[in-house]
Amino acid sequence: NNGDELLLVSTKGMSLRFTADDESLRPMGRSTSGVIGMKFRAQDSLLTMARVSSGFAANSFVFTATNAGYGKKTPLDEYRLQGRGGIGIKAAKIDESSRGSLVSALVLRDEDEVLAITSAGTVMRTPAAEVRQTGRDSMGVRLVNLDEGVALVSVTKNSEDEISSKS
């Protein structure tokens, strides 16, 4: 939709937020390869893409998590709008030796819940409001206590709309 935005996040913690309109994502034929959303440095690749609906950006956060169980949420406003095709700005400070590598990046609100899934098959549910808010360039705080040899493999959100419709 016009007015929507896309947030691309790389495995090395870089992010690029841009408007998803017909000017930046022009319509093309089936046989074309598309347009570049984000450029990557060596050893980096796309981790995730999140759509930010128009009007949803206010009071929204970018939530990131590492396989060592660390997570953080940062106001979406700290991720300035850019043009597509750049390398972006830092979304998370990644220190793989102590905090692990990035496994997830989501756009959420405080009323959402975060579901963290471990390699042991455990699912932990945490209200997003309980995750401490930090700046873009911080490493985050302990989100999940993990046993030896267990890693965080995925994080997703369960939004308030989904929770109330199931009740």
Residue ranges per structural domain of the chain: 5-166
Q: Say which residue the tokens 């319509």 belong to.
A: 27
Residue-level pLDDT at 26:
65
Q: What is the DSSP-derived secondary structure letter of residue 81?
A: B
Q: What is the CATH number of domain 5-166?
A: 2.120.10.90
In what helix (H) or strand (E) does residue 11 lie, and over which residues does it extend? none
Please give the structure tokens belonging to residue 51: 């759509």
How many Å apart are CA 109 and CA 154, to the nearest integer?
Answer: 18
List the pLDDT tens digit at each of the 167 positions of the chain: 667 889 999 999 999 998 887 666 667 777 777 778 889 999 999 999 998 887 777 789 999 999 999 999 999 999 988 888 889 999 888 877 778 899 999 999 999 999 999 999 999 999 999 998 998 888 788 888 999 999 999 999 987 655 455 55
